[in-house]
Amino acid sequence: MTMRQRLRSMLVLLIGAAAAAPAHARDTAAPILRVEQGLRPLAIIDGQPQPRWNILERMKHYRVPGVSIAVISGGELEWARGYGVVSMSGKPVDTETLFQAASISKPVTALMALRLVDEGKLSLDEDVNLRLRSWKVPENEFTRAQKVTLRRLLNHSAGLTVSGFDGYAADGPVPSLLDILDGRKPANSKPIRVEAVPGTNWSYSGGGYVVVQQLVTDVTRRSFSELVREQVLAPLGMVHSTFQQPLPASLEANAAAGHDGDGALLKTRWHIYPEMAPAGLWTTPSDLARVVLELQRGGQLLKPATQLAMLTKLHYDYGLGIGLEDKSGRKSFSHSGGNAGFNCNLFGYLDGGAGVVVMTNGDNGWPLIEEIMRSISAEYRWADYRQRKVIHVAPDTLQGYSGRYVFPSKKEIAVTCGDGRLFASYMGGEKFELLPETPTDFFTTDQQWPQTFRFIRASDDTVEMSVGSKVAKRQAGASTEPLEPLSR
C-alpha cells in the first residue's frame, strides 16, 4: 500500500468515527460556557432583576474553594470539569480530584448489598439478626411484631435512630464499628436503636446503614471497603473511588481538602468516617456518573427485578438507597450528601440518559450546587431544578395560615404574617420567608429548611401544613395571632 493509499484509508476511518460519534459529543464548548455563566437564584419575582452569575464569582461568594462537575446527556458522559483549588495551597481541581461523597455513599452501598441478595448471600425481607454475628439489633417493644430487615434499612423505614455522623479528626481517636453501633466512646454519636415499629414510617437513618455495614461484613467475612470495590467499584470502572477510611496516604495528594463556612481549611483537612456505608466514599463526579448510567441502563450489576425494587418507591419518595421523584411526568432519582467540609449532589432521569453530579469542598457548597443545577437544567431543558415564579396572594389568605403547627414528632413551627408576606420559624430559630408559588404552595430560598410547604384547609376551622412527607396540624385558637419565636 502506498503512502497516499494509507493516508486515504486513515481519512476514511476518521470520517467514519466522527459520523458514528454521538452528535452531542462533538461540540460541548458552548453548552459548558452557558452553564458556567448561567448560575441563577431560585425565585423569579416580577419587577425585580433576574441575575445571572458565573461559577467562579459564586464560588468566591460562598467561600467554596473547589467544585467538580460531570454532566450526562444522551446516555453518555458529555463533559466533566473542575474549578478552583483543592485547598488554599493552590493546586487546581481537575476531573480526577477526589471528594468525599458523604451520603451519596448510600446508593453505592445499596448496590453492593443488593448484589449480595442476587447471589443468595442476603435476603431483603428476613430479620437481620438471623445473620448478624458480631452484634445484634437490640430487641424492644417496637420489634415484637415487626423486624428490622435489609429492605427497610436501605429504605430508611426500619425505625432506627441516628440520622447522620460528624466524623472524626485525623489526629484523634477513631471508634470501632461496634463502638458506633452502641454509642460507646470514643464514638461521638448516640447508640443505634429501634425507636419506631419497623416498616411503618420513613425516617432518614445513617445509623441503619451502619447496621448494613456490620451485616455484610459478618456475612461475607470481608472488609467493607474491599467488598464494595469488588462488587461495585471495579465492575463499573470507578478507578478513582475508594471506601477506605482513613484515606490511604497514596491518594492524599489527589484529594480535595474540606473547608468550613468561612472558607477556612479544616484542622486536619478532612474527617475520617468509619461509618463507611452511610458516609465513607471518596470519589469523583466522573466516577459517580458511572453509577448514574448503571441505574439508567441496568444489566451490569443487578438482576432486572432487583434493580426495579431499588428504583421503586417504598416509603416516602425513596426506594432502596436512592431518592425518587416524578415531575412533569419524568421520573428521576437523586441523592445529596454533606460531610464536614464537603457537599455534593447526584441526579439522573430514569429515561433519556440525562444526569449530573456536582461535588464541592466547602460547608457552603449546597446553595452553590443548587445554582449550578438550575443553570444545567436551563441548558438541557429539564423538568427539575427550574426557577420558581413568585405570585401575589391576597393578604387575607396569608393571614389565614398564621398559627402554631405541631408535627407528630412534637416539633413545632410558627407561621406569621406581616406586610403582606408570610414567615416561618422552627423551634425558636431564625425566621425565614415563605414565597407563594400558588395560593397554597410556598417555598423558601433559605437553605437551612425544606423548600416546599403546602397549606391544606381540611375544614373552616382546621388547617394543616405538609413539609415533604410530614404533616403538621395547626393548634386550635392560634390561627390569626402573630407568634413569637418558639424556645428550643
User: For 452-467, what is each residue's pLDDT tens digit?
Assistant: 899 998 776 789 999 8
Amino acid 452: pLDDT: 86
Q: How many CB atoms lie within 10 A of CB 14?
A: 10
Looking at residue 448, its pLDDT comes to 65
Closest CA to 341 of 55, 91, 86: 86
**For residue 325, which phi and psi values (nearest 5 degrees)?**
-140, 170
Q: Is 195 exposed, middle or buried (0-12, 13-18, 19+ CB in 10 A)?
A: middle
Task: Provide the CB-side half-sphere exposure for 134 (13 A, CA).
Answer: 19
At 67-89, the pLDDT tens digits run 999 999 999 999 999 999 999 77
The domain that holds 441 is classified in CATH as 2.40.128
* Residue 274 and residue 128 share a domain: yes
Residues 401 and 325 in one domain: no
| Structural domain ending residue among the three candidates 335, 366, 388 | 388
Nearest to 288 by CA among 431, 471, 478, 97: 97
Residues 355 and 427 in one domain: no
Rg (CA), the chain: 24
For residues 293 and 165, membership in a common domain is answered with yes
On the question of pLDDT at 13 being above 70, the answer is no
At residue 88, the pLDDT reads 74
Q: Identify whether 27 is part of a domain.
A: no
Q: For 115-178, give the DSSP string.
A: HHHHTTS--SSSBGGGT--S--PPP-GGGTTS--BHHHHHHT-S-B-------EETTS----HH
The answer as to whether 88 is a domain residue is: no
Cα–Cα distance, 314 to 156 (Å, whole number): 10
Domain co-membership, 202 together with 166: yes
Please report the pLDDT score of residue 47 as a whole number. Answer: 83
* C-alpha atoms less than 13 angstroms from C-alpha of 42 in its C-beta half-sphere: 19
- Whether the per-residue pLDDT at 15 is higher than 60: the answer is no
Mean pLDDT of the chain: 90
Indicate if the pLDDT at residue 55 is higher than 90. Answer: yes
149 and 289 in one domain? yes
pLDDT for position 482:
39
More confident residue, 17 or 244: 244
Q: Which domain holds residue 225?
A: 99-388
- Residue from 291, 303, 278 nearest 114 by CA: 303
Cell numbers at 134, concatenated: 458480631
Q: At what angle do helices 365-380 and 29-36 cross, to 10 degrees?
A: 140
Which of residues 338, 368, 388 is at a domain's end?
388
- Co-location of 317 and 232 in the same domain: yes
> pLDDT band at residue 427, thresholds of 50, 70 and 90?
confident
Q: How far is CA 195 from the centre of its chain?
A: 24
Check: CB of residue 166 under 8 Å from CB of residue 201. Answer: no
**Phi, psi dihedrals of residue 233, rounded to the nearest 5°:** -65, -50
Based on the domain organization, do 289 and 416 belong to the same domain? no
Query: How far is Cα 463 from Cα 404, in angstroms, rounded to an integer?
Result: 10
- Residue matched to cell numbers 408570610: 422
pLDDT above 70 covers a percentage of the chain that reads 91
Of 467, 454, 482, whose CA–CA distance to 409 is shortest? 467
DSSP 341-410: TEEEEEEEESSSS-EEEEEESSTTHHHHHHHHHHHHHHHHT-SSS--EEE----HHHHHTT-EEEE-TTS
**Rounded average pLDDT over 10-36:** 57
Residue 173 located in a structural domain? yes
333 shares its domain with 414: no
> Can you tell me the distance from the alpha carbon of 150 to that of 158, in angstroms, rounded to the nearest whole number?
8
Report how many domains make up the chain: 2
Is there a domain that residue 131 lies in?
yes
Give 423's strand partners: 416, 433
Does 94 reside within a domain?
no
Residue 448: inside a domain, yes or no?
Answer: yes
Tell me, yes or no, whether 399 lies in a domain. yes
Residue where a domain terminates, one of 388, 420, 454: 388
The answer to whether residue 301 is domain-embedded is yes
Buried b or exposed e, range 127-156, using 16+ CB within 10 angstroms: bbbeebeebebeeeebbeebbbbbbbbbbb
* Spatial contact of 437 and 443, defined as CB atoms under 8 Å apart: yes
Asked whether residue 402 falls in the same domain as residue 300, the answer is no
Highest mean pLDDT (candidates 38-52, 175-189, 421-435): 175-189
Contact 367, 447 (CB under 8 A): yes
pLDDT at site 450: 60
Where does the pLDDT of residue 449 fall: very low under 50, low under 70, confident under 90, or very high at 90 and above? low
443: part of which helix (H) or strand (E)?
Answer: strand 441-443
On the question of pLDDT at 265 being above 70, the answer is: yes
Q: Do residues 370 and 354 make contact, with C-beta atoms less than 8 angstroms apart?
A: no
pLDDT-based confidence at residue 477 (cuts at 50, 70, 90): low
Question: What is the grid cell recorded at 274?
Answer: 468509619
On whether both 377 and 397 belong to a single domain, the answer is no
* Position 46 confidence tier, pLDDT thresholds 50, 70, 90: confident
Whole-angstrom distance, CA of residue 72 vs CA of residue 65:
24
359 and 429 in one domain? no
Query: Residue 132 sits in a domain of what CATH number?
Result: 3.40.710.10
